[in-house]
Structure 1
Amino acid sequence: MEYLLELAASPAAWAALVTLIAMEVVLGIDNLLFISILTNKLPEDIRPRARKIGIGLALVMRLGLLSTVAFIVQLVEPVFSVFGQAFSWRDLILIAGGLFLVWKATKEIHHTMAPHEEQQEATGELIKVSFSAAIVQILILDLVFSVDSIITAVGMTEHIPIMVIAVVFAVMTMLLAAGPLANFINHNPSIIMLALGFLLLIGTTLIAEGFGAHVPKGYIYAAMAFSAGIEALNMVQRRRRAH
Structure 2
Amino acid sequence: MFDYLAGLLSDPAAWAALVTLVVMEVVLGIDNLIFISILSNKLPEHQRQRVRRIGIGLALIMRLALLSIIAWLVGLTATVVDLGIVGPVGEHGEPAFETAFSWKDLILIAGGLFLVWKATKEIHHTVDPTPTHDVLDKKAVVINNAGAAIFQIILLDLVFSIDSILTAIGMTDHLPIMVVAVLAAIAVMLLAADPLADFIAKNPTVVMLALGFLLMIGMVLIADGFGVHVPKGYIYAAMAFSALVEGLNMLSRRSAAKRATAPDPHI
Q: TM-score range by the shorter chain?
A: over 0.9
Per-residue CA deviations over 1:82-119 (Å, capped at 9, x if unaligned) read 13320000100000000000000011011101254137
Alignment counterpart, residue 118 of structure 1, candidates 111, 116, 132: 132
- 1:88 equivalent to 2:102? Answer yes
1:103 corresponds in structure 2 to 117
Runs of 4+ in 1 over 4 A off after TM superposition: 119-123
TM superposition shift of 1:122? 5.0
TM superposition shift of 1:239? 1.2
Q: Secondary structure at the match of 1:86?
A: strand
1:220 corresponds in structure 2 to 235
- 1:178 equivalent to 2:179? Answer no
**Matching residue's letter, 1:168:** L
1:7 corresponds in structure 2 to 8
Per-residue CA deviations over 1:195-227 (Å, capped at 9, x if unaligned) read 111111011111111111000111011001101
Distance 1:6 1:220 in 2: 35
Per-residue CA deviations over 1:126-171 (Å, capped at 9, x if unaligned) read 1111101111100001111111111110111111011000000001
TM-score by length of 2: 0.87
TM-score by length of 1: 0.96
Task: Note closer, same or farther for the CA distance 1:112–1:217 as it changes in structure 2 (3 Å cut).
Answer: same
Task: Note closer, same or farther for the CA distance 1:167–1:115 as it changes in structure 2 (3 Å cut).
Answer: farther
Distance 2:129 2:50 in 1: 25
TM superposition shift of 1:42? 0.5
Alignment length (residue pairs):
241
Distance 1:121 1:227 in 2: 29
Distance 2:167 2:69 in 1: 14
Task: Note closer, same or farther for the CA distance 1:110–1:92 as it changes in structure 2 (3 Å cut).
Answer: same
8 A contact 2:42–2:138 mirrored in 1 = no
**Matching residue's letter, 2:189:** M
Q: How does 1:48-59 map to 2 (within 5 A)?
A: 48-59=49-60
TM superposition shift of 1:2? 2.1
**Matching residue's letter, 1:75:** L
Distance 1:174 1:62 in 2: 13
- 1:148 equivalent to 2:163? Answer yes
Q: Which moved more, 1:32-41 or 1:5-14?
A: 5-14
TM superposition shift of 1:121? 6.4
1:238 corresponds in structure 2 to 253
Structure having the higher helix fraction is 1
8 A contact 1:50–1:135 mirrored in 2 = yes
8 A contact 1:95–1:206 mirrored in 2 = yes
8 A contact 1:105–1:196 mirrored in 2 = yes
Q: Which moved more, 1:76-85 or 1:63-72?
A: 76-85
1:47 corresponds in structure 2 to 48
- 1:76 equivalent to 2:90? Answer no
Q: Secondary structure at the match of 2:80?
A: strand
**Matching residue's letter, 2:212:** G
8 A contact 2:200–2:206 mirrored in 1 = yes
1:26 corresponds in structure 2 to 27
Distance 1:186 1:143 in 2: 25
Identity over the aligned pairs, expressed in percent?
Answer: 65
Distance 1:30 1:217 in 2: 13
Distance 2:188 2:151 in 1: 22
TM superposition shift of 1:56? 0.4
Task: Note closer, same or farther for the CA distance 1:65–1:14 as it changes in structure 2 (3 Å cut).
Answer: same
Distance 1:74 1:189 in 2: 42
Q: CA RMSD in A?
A: 1.3
8 A contact 1:43–1:122 mirrored in 2 = no
Task: Note closer, same or farther for the CA distance 1:99–1:146 as it changes in structure 2 (3 Å cut).
Answer: same
